[in-house]
Each structure stands twice: as C-alpha cells, then as structure tokens.
Amino acid sequence: MPSLPLRLLLRRFALLLGVYVLLRAGFYAFNYDTFQEASASQVALAFWHGFRFDIAALLLLNLPFVVLSMIPALGRGWQRFLWGIYLLLNALGIALNIVDWEYFKFIGRRTSNELTTIGADVQRQAGQLVGNYWFLVLPFVLLLVALWYFYPMPKGRQPESDTAEKTSFKNRSTARRRWLLLVEALLVAGFTVLGIRGGLQLKPLRTGAAFAQQPAILGHLALNSTFTFLKSLGYENLERRQYFASEMELQQALGVRPAVAAKAAPRRDNVVILLLESFSSEYTGVENGGSGGYTPFFDSLATHGGVLFREHYANGRRSIEALPAVLAGLPALLENPFITSNFQTNELHGLGEILGKQGYTTSVFHGAENGSMGFNTFAGVAGIQRYYGLSEYPGARQSPDYDGHWGIFDEPYLQYFSRQLSQQKQPFFATLFTLSSHEPFTVPPQYSGRFPKGTLPIHAAIGYTDFALRRFFAAASRQPWYRNTLFILLADHTSQTDRRGYQNTLGSYKTPLLVFHPGQTLPAANVHRITQQADVPATVLDYLHVPTQGKLLPFGYSVFDSTNTGRAVFLSGGSWFLVHSDFVTELTADDQVRLYPYQTHRLPAVPLPNPDPQKLRQYGNELKACVQLYVNGLIDNRLYLHPKAKQGSQ
C-alpha cells in the first residue's frame, strides 16, 4: 500500500485537475463564439486532450510542492507549511487562466510571456482593470476557497514525528522501510518527468500539439494558460518595429491589393505538394545549362510538360522553416523557427483549413519519427486532417525500408504515398516531405554505386531521390486520380555546395519550383518571375479558383498572377533581404537599407555605392513593411489584414 505522504500527494493533485476542468469550462463559456463551429463531441474531445496539458502544467508549476511532499513528515506544522505552498503556487495558475477568459478575446491566443513585458503596465492600470473586470475576481476567490477547503490533510492529530509511518511499518526493519520510501520517491520523480514532458514521444509536449485535433481552433480550449505561460519563459522577447505610423501606410508600402473574388467556379482538382529535402538548384541539370546535374527525371519533367520557375528561392535554411511557408504562406523572418516559437498558437490559416472547408481530404506525409521537427503539430495548426509519420508506416522501425537514421527511404515511401492517395476520397490535398537526401545521405544497399557519386556526399542521395520521384510518377500515372491532379515540386532548403556561383547569400537560398498537371494546360506564367515558398498557398488557391476570404497572408503571390513580377523575402546573417527581378534589397539590424543588382542566385559582396534613390526608397519601404507586419503581427497576433483580425486585437 502506498505511504500516507504519497496518498495525500495524489489526492491533492487530483483536486487540482478538477479545478482545471472548471477553469477550462469557464474559458469555453466566456469564448463560446470562438468555438461554436465545433460539435459537442469535438469539444468533449478537446476537454479530454486537455488533461495531458493540465498534468504537464500542474507538475511544472507545483514542482517544489511535489518534492517537499515526499518528505515523510506528517506533523501539523509541516503539513500547514505544505498547505501554504500549495495555495500560493496554484493561486498564480488559477489567476492566469481566469485572466485569459477575457484576455483571449483581445490577443486570440492563450497568455504567454508577454506578462513579463507588460507587468509594469498592468500594475499601473490595476485599478482600472479590476474596475472593468471585477466579475473575474469572484471565480478566482471561489476556486481558491475550494482549494483551501477541500485540501486533503492527514486525519486525526499527528505529532511532529512520523508516528503513522512508524505504525505502518512496525513489523518491518528500518532499513526496509527506508528502501520502500526511496522507491516511492524514485517513482514519483520518474512520473513527474514523464508528466512534464507529456509522455514518451520523441519531443517534449509543446503548445502546438494541442492543434492536432480538428477544428484546429479547439487547440486553444485543450491548452491551459499555466502551460503556455510557463513554456514561454526563457524565450527572447521580440523588439517591435515601427517604420510606418499607420496601417494604411504599411499596406501601401507592402503592396497589398484589395481581395479579388474567384475568377470562376472552383476547380475540384487534387493537389499534391512534393517537398524535397535539400534539393538545391545547383544539383539540377536543367538550371545549370543542362550539364553536371544529378536529377535526370526532374530535368525531363521540367522540360516536358512541367513549368519550371527559374528564379525561385526558399524562405529559410532549415526544414522546420519550410512547412509554415509552403502550407500557410509564412516566411521565416525570425532566428527561431515559428513551429517551436512562442507564437505557434497565433491565428494562422493554412491550406488544410481552407481546402478542408471546400470538401477536400487533407494530409501530410513524412517518413521520419512522429514528432520530428514538430511537423505533426504544425500540420494540425495548418488545418490538416491527418498526419502520416513513421508510426503509420507498416513495420515502422522494424521495416526493411527503414534507413537506420531518419526514417523510411524515399523510394518505398513514395510508393506507399501513391497507394495511400488511391485510398483517399477525392478531391484531396496532400503534402509529402522526403528525407533520404538528408545527412548522412544514405542510399539503400541495393542501389550502391547506381547513382553518380559526384563531388559531394549529397550528390548520390539526390540522384536516389530523383530516381524515387521517377518511380512515384510511374506508379501514380496508373491511378485514376493522376490526370486530375496538380503537382507542385519544390525544396525545403539548400545544402552542400561546390559550385562557386552559388556560394553567396542569394545562392544559399536558390531552389527549384516546378508545377505540373498531367491532364490540364496550366495558366500562362512568366517563368522568370521571382517566386518563393510562401507563394504556394496563393498559387494553389488561385489555380483552384477558391476565394481566400481574408485568410491568406500578404507576403506571397500566385505564380500565375500577371500583374506583378513577384518577390522573395528571407533572413540571413541578421539582415532581411527582399528579392525583385531588378534589385535585391537588404535591411540590416540597425535599419540601414542597401541595394544590390539582381542576377539569378548571385549576390555581389558589396552593395551599390550610388543606388537609384527611388528604388532604394521603394524597395526599402516594402521590405520594412514586410518586417513590421511580420514582427508586430506575431507580437499582437495580427498577421492577417482583415476586419476580424483587427477587431480581435483592439
């Protein structure tokens, strides 16, 4: 039988879980309009998912109390001391959650570390805030009183020494008694660590994991404010950028145009995005004069039926930065990836959400360990209905297709992808992320020596991925859905380089973009327009004639938009860069603006000494607008330029 201190600890923790259920119910009631699209069963499931976040948050918040509770002392003085620690710690947690009943309406997400930056403002406005939101004091007091009243205490009078424990173990030796208490302490420590990290999964529990359910907005309900606040501590606070005095000036500089209604009735074509690991432009033949490439199939697709955009750039240098750009149009303009940032619960409308409401079946496939780089959680944030990782692949790690490092080799995984698509209800929107061309660049043993070794370790792996693509398209072409599918092929980022022309800031972001439809003629497009990963959502919605309804970020354009020449933005070396077809603009950390002449994947080492003042001002303001909208939009949860976002952040 567990010792009395352990039994008391479990009962006291159960009381806290009950209080957090009530806090979640209050949050739901105060923000019912936000969640009204969800059914009762979906709301109930969000409450159920919430227990995982409650356990993690309560263990993290009550860590001192848990440690002290395992001291085998049952004296009244000690128990009253524990009682005080318990009430003090959890009063803070209750207050955070009750504040969010109203604060959520303004920021559209659970409280994070912004309280550490606005603490002085809250102190100055304390009187006004209490006056406006006095009604929140009542549930705070009631819940705190409930914790005080129902707090389990040892029954009967307990002396300062541990008499009850001595009685419990009176027939056992002192050594055995101490051993059992040590075992209990170790078990509590183990389960505490397990609870705080949220389970045995690859990565510790993150706020983004709450958004794996559908509709994704229920992630805010599954979360609790204690969890989001504690998890955000330690993140570096962003410094606001204020280049423009009004939103109108910002939008003019950014080049935002009024939303245009869909051109025609929506198309019902399937959409497949193939996001290719480290598939740099310098590895292709078609982008390098037709020689020295390692991608014969990609080259043939680009020259026979596909549309290859030759001035395409990634928005980041890491795989974790690619998915937000491709699925939600969010470029990587911070040093820390959005997926693991403090802003991962901000308002974000991905292609999964938008197309899901059009009746699409939506999915993301990645043959790596579930949880790798947070792709599974971000898929939920983007509104994707189902994520397929290593765990879903037949045999998983025990499969002969496992590469021994990251996951499933590209060739068998792409064949699996083709089979899975044939089982999905049409129309479908599916994204696959390859992995074999990731370090250590493993090629299956049966293909050893088949692909050109080249001059870099990655070259043979790129050849293998290209071969896997050939096999995929051969298999897919025999499926009934194939000719009704738009394919988009692009890379997540660049990798190893040995071509001197690519060894510069711009060249380190140069990747290919190929759009292909086996059953339709694609709209006319300028293949030399500047394109970026963040153009994918606009391109997909434009091609399908799906109205955006204010749910498209203003950083990217459709590649079929003939009214502009496109642009690309990225962060490199502490500076932001804006790529246009004539110039590349740099905005340094100290707000200096520099201009460079544009040439495909080449950036001079020094800027123009006497740039065109008009271009310097125009492009400088455009880049500043991108940065201000991105940074301040993350801070204020106002990335979207539509009435709902503005109203929600007033």
pLDDT of 234 higher than 90: no
Q: Tally the C-alpha atoms within 13 A of residue 299's C-alpha that lie toward its C-beta.
A: 18
pLDDT of 649 higher than 50: no
Q: Are 294 and 451 in contact (CB under 8 A)?
A: yes
pLDDT band at 183 (very low <50, low <70, confident <90, very high): confident
Nearest-angstrom CA–CA distance, 75 and 157: 8
If asked whether residues 251 and 215 sit together in one domain, one would say no
The torsion angles phi and psi of 32, rounded to 5 degrees, stand at -60, -40
Q: Give Cα separations from 189 to 63, 197, 494, 511 (angstroms).
A: 10, 12, 43, 48
Instruction: Check whether the bond before 215 is cis (ω within 30° of 0).
Output: yes
| DSSP character string of 173-216 | -HHHHHHHHHHHHHHHHHHHHHHHHTSSSSS---GGGGGGSSSG
Q: Are 341 and 320 in contact (CB under 8 A)?
A: no
pLDDT of residue 342: 79
If asked whether residues 349 and 226 sit together in one domain, one would say no
pLDDT of 594 higher than 60: yes
Amino acid at 492: D
Summarize the confidence of residues 218-232 as an average pLDDT.
88
Residues 322/414/538/106 CA torsion (nearest 10 deg): -50
pLDDT of 650 higher than 50: no
Please name every residue paired with 313 in a beta bridge, in sequence order, or none if there are none: 510, 532
| Residues contacting 413, CB < 8 A, separation 6+ | 365, 367, 393, 401, 407, 432, 434, 435, 468
pLDDT of residue 219: 84
* 275: nearest Cα among 506, 514, 508, 442: 514
pLDDT of residue 545: 95
Summarize the confidence of residues 356-362 as an average pLDDT.
96
Is residue 241 a part of any domain in this protein?
Answer: no
Instruction: Check whether the bond before 324 is cis (ω within 30° of 0).
Output: no
Is residue 261 a part of any domain in this protein?
Answer: no
pLDDT band at 523 (very low <50, low <70, confident <90, very high): very high
pLDDT of 106 higher than 80: no
558 vs 31, more confident: 558
* 13: nearest Cα among 61, 45, 71, 72: 61
pLDDT of 414 higher than 90: yes
Summarize the confidence of residues 151-169 as an average pLDDT.
59
Nearest-angstrom CA–CA distance, 603 and 607: 9
Neighbouring C-beta atoms of residue 94, cutoff 10 Å: 26
If asked whether residues 361 and 417 sit together in one domain, one would say yes
pLDDT band at 644 (very low <50, low <70, confident <90, very high): very low
Number of domains observed in the structure of the chain: 2
Instruction: Return the structure tokens found at 512.
Output: 């290919």
Q: Indicate the pairing of strand 485-491 with strand 270-276.
A: parallel
pLDDT of residue 391: 95
pLDDT band at 574 (very low <50, low <70, confident <90, very high): confident
Nearest-angstrom CA–CA distance, 445 and 463: 14
pLDDT of 167 higher than 80: no
pLDDT of 79 higher than 80: yes
Is residue 460 a part of any domain in this protein?
Answer: yes
Is residue 237 a part of any domain in this protein?
Answer: no
Nearest-angstrom CA–CA distance, 160 and 14: 26
pLDDT of residue 131: 67
If asked whether residues 486 and 400 sit together in one domain, one would say yes
Q: Are 23 and 98 in contact (CB under 8 A)?
A: yes
pLDDT of residue 196: 87
Polymer length in residues for the chain: 650
Find the radius of gyration of the CA atoms of the chain: 28
Tell me what the pLDDT averaged over the chain comes to.
88
pLDDT of residue 161: 44
pLDDT of residue 160: 44
The pTM for the full model equals 0.76
pLDDT of residue 472: 98
Nearest-angstrom CA–CA distance, 650 and 367: 42
If asked whether residues 496 and 445 sit together in one domain, one would say yes
pLDDT in tens, 280-291: 999 999 999 987
Please name every residue paired with 585 in a beta bridge, in sequence order, or none if there are none: 578, 595
If asked whether residues 349 and 205 sit together in one domain, one would say no
pLDDT band at 117 (very low <50, low <70, confident <90, very high): very low
If asked whether residues 504 and 539 sit together in one domain, one would say yes
If asked whether residues 385 and 496 sit together in one domain, one would say yes
If asked whether residues 456 and 555 sit together in one domain, one would say yes
pLDDT of residue 130: 65
Q: What is the number of helices (H) and of strands (E) in the chain?
A: 23, 13
Q: Are 446 and 287 in contact (CB under 8 A)?
A: no
| Torsional sign, CA 192, 194, 198, 204 | positive
pLDDT in tens, 242-273: 999 999 999 999 987 665 555 678 899 999 99
Is residue 238 a part of any domain in this protein?
Answer: no
pLDDT of 125 higher than 60: no
| Residues contacting 84, CB < 8 A, separation 6+ | none
Place of tokens 């499931």: 45
CATH number at residue 497: 3.40.720.10
* 229: nearest Cα among 375, 321, 370, 119: 119
pLDDT of residue 482: 98
Nearest-angstrom CA–CA distance, 645 and 347: 8
pLDDT in tens, 26-75: 999 988 877 887 889 999 999 999 999 999 999 999 999 988 888 877 78
Q: Are 50 and 42 in contact (CB under 8 A)?
A: no
* 212: nearest Cα among 327, 376, 83: 376
pLDDT of 172 higher than 60: no
* 450: nearest Cα among 467, 432, 438, 433: 467
Is residue 142 a part of any domain in this protein?
Answer: yes
Helices in 530-612 by DSSP H: which ranges?
A: 536-544
Is residue 260 a part of any domain in this protein?
Answer: no
Is residue 116 a part of any domain in this protein?
Answer: yes
End-to-end Cα, the chain, rounded Å: 56
179 vs 44, more confident: 44
If asked whether residues 303 and 201 sit together in one domain, one would say no
Summarize the confidence of residues 411-423 as an average pLDDT.
98
pLDDT of residue 554: 94
If asked whether residues 363 and 452 sit together in one domain, one would say yes
pLDDT in tens, 444-503: 999 999 999 999 999 999 999 999 999 999 999 999 999 999 999 999 999 989 999 998
Summarize the confidence of residues 81-103 as an average pLDDT.
91
If asked whether residues 539 and 435 sit together in one domain, one would say yes
pLDDT of residue 647: 33
Q: Are 332 and 569 in contact (CB under 8 A)?
A: no
Residue 165, domain extent: 4-232
